[in-house]
Every structure is written in structure tokens, then in C-alpha cells.
Copies of this chain bind each other. A is one copy, B any other.
Amino acid sequence: MSDKRTELGTFGEFKLIEHLTDQFRITNPSSLLGVGDDAAIIERDENTYSLISTDMLVEGVHFNLMYMPLKHLGYKSVAVNVSDICAMNGKAEQVVVSIAVSNRFSVEALEELYAGIKAACEHYNVDLVGGDTTSSSSGLIISITAIGQVAKDKVVKRSGAKENDLLVVTGDLGGAYMGLQVLERERLIFEENPSIQPDLDGHDYIIQRQLKPEARVDVIGYLKELEVVPTSMIDISDGLASEVMHLCKNSKVGCHVYDEKLPIDGATSMTAIDFNLDPNTCALNGGEDYELLFTIDQKDFDKIKGNPHMTVIGHITHESDGIYYVDKNGAAVELQAQGWNHFDS
């Protein structure tokens, strides 16, 4: 090893994984898709693939126990992995959960965490089949791996979008981010004056979006009923802009996203304006909505038209056309992914 020292912040989070794994080669015939999608694809049987996704949640980085109840944290940690399996158009069936935890936590605290994990397992019909529990010198770290399956002719990757496909997003965007802003504001007020009770009135929806996100397993069901197989799909964990860029990069296409099409709940918009933020910017760059972003062939448009869970927000262009965000006046700016680089502090 040379004495050179490159700081972790030099790379973004995605680039770092890419950099660390780009020398790895896949050799087993059963490994069909490796690093770089929402889940890995493994041969299962004649008609089915296995899907494997994994996430690590670190206290102080991904969650703050000041306002994140442990039960919600347990629920969310399962939901985000189920969401990754949804993003492959699959059904999660098992999870393994490992935690590292310091002596600061009591058995009762872990019981709360596992009550949340159990609630999510029941809600998503997923079985906890393994895990590891160990101590850490500081804080709580949760690592979850989900195992799912999908019919071979239904699997959807990030890489299948084609020119003229429509870009579709589920639900609404920016809510989880604005929920976090409200929780952060109340935390700061509380830290300054612990006698003031948190004022979360009227913010139920966006706080729920932050504290109890749901994987869109319902959407996977709708797509099946509608007989629509997206040409590409990803879940929105880091923000719409970042995920649009992942889809386009993996599919080698460009895209136009129309700002007036972005689905934003009224509660999100109002809170954004309260915070002097542009609601569209929150929708573009706010993370953790766990909605699905996918592309469909134009011939499938009639099937999803009017579906209250799906909004067409743009269309796919040729790679050389670039990735653009188009405003009401037709002015186009190149899309920038803020994403979340946890290594920059």
C-alpha cells in the first residue's frame, strides 16, 4: 500500500462503491446481475429469479433517535429494503437483520426496535429468517438484507429505458424531506428550551412520510393488474433528480422532466413555502420518499392514464440530448443530482 491518502469525501457515495468494486468479476453462472441496481438478480428456477437487496442504517447519519422512535426505525429499515425489491418489480419474502448496538441501549429499547421490524414483516408479508446481534462502541447500526423473487419475464432493471418512453413517478414527492425539516426545527427549539413542547400540528402527513415510509408494494400489484411491465425502474431514496440520473445513465438515454408535472402534496408545498423553500426543489432533491420512478413504452400509456397513484412527469430522449429539467415557460436547465453524500461533513 502506498502512503497516499485520499479522503473518502473525494468520491461521492455511489462513485466510491463503483471505485471499490470495479475490479470484481462475476464467475458463477447463477449470478445474473451484480452491484449497481436496486437488487442483485440470481437464477432461481426455470421461471423465477431471486432478488437480493441490502441497506445499512447508521445512527447520526441516517436517523436521529431524538425524533425517530425505535419502533418506527425498525419498521422503516424493513420498508426501505422491501422498496428495493419492488424497484425490480419483485416481491420481498425474507429479510435478515443484523444490529450493532452500544450499552446505552436497554433490552426494552431493542424490543421496541424489533416490534417495528415485526410490524413491517407482517404488513409486507416478509419473514425474518436470520441475523446477528452484536455490541458497538457507539450508537446503533442496522443492516438489513431482503430476499425476494420475480417472474423472469417481469423483472425490471434500471437499464431498460428507451427513447420516447414515458417517465412515471408514483405517489407524491418531497414530503419526507419536509417532514424532516419540521422535526429538525422542533429538535433545535427543544434543545434551546426543553420546556417547549414540539409543535407538529398540521404536519401529520409529512412527518409520517419521514418516520413511516411505505414500500409501494401496492403499485407492483397495480402494474401486474394493468399488465404493464416498466422498461426500467428505481426507487426514490436519494431524491428524484439523483434517481432520474441513475436511470438515464444505466439506460444510456437522456430525458426531459417537466417541473409542472411533479406530484407534490399540498401539505408539502405549504410547509416548503413556510421554510422559504421552493416546493419543486424539495420534490427534486428531497430524499426518502420511497416512491417508484419508472419508464413505460408509450403504447402502455392508456393503461396507466388517470391512475391516481401514477404521474407522467417526462419522457426519455436520446442520450446525446442530455438530461433536462423543463420549466413552465419551456426553459430547460440541465438536471443536477444533489443526492446525499454522507462522507461530506
Spell out A's residues near B (CB within 8 Å): 1-2, 4-11, 13, 16-17, 19-21, 23-24, 26-28, 30-31, 33-35, 39-40, 42, 44-46, 50, 52-56, 58-62, 93-94, 96, 98-101, 103, 105-108, 110-112, 114, 118, 121, 125-139, 141, 143, 145, 147, 149, 342-343, 345
Contacts and interface: CB of A to CB of B under 8 A. Distances in A.
B125 A27 contact: yes
A114 B42 CA distance: 22
B61 A108 contact: no
Contact of A8 (B5, B10, B28, B135): B135
B130 A94 contact: no
Contacts of A105: 8
16 contacts: A6-B107, A6-B108, A8-B107, A16-B133, A17-B133, A20-B110, A21-B128, A21-B131, A34-B128, A35-B129, A52-B96, A56-B141, A61-B100, A132-B143, A135-B343, A137-B138
Contacts of A23: 114, 118
A147 B30 CA distance: 11
B101 A8 contact: yes
A40 B96 contact: yes
Nearest to A11: B107
A179 to B, nearest CB: 21
Contacts of A137: 58-61, 138-139
A168 B45 CA distance: 35
Given A94-B28, A125-B27, A130 B54 contact: yes
A299 to B, nearest CB: 33
Nearest to A106: B5
B345 A106 contact: no
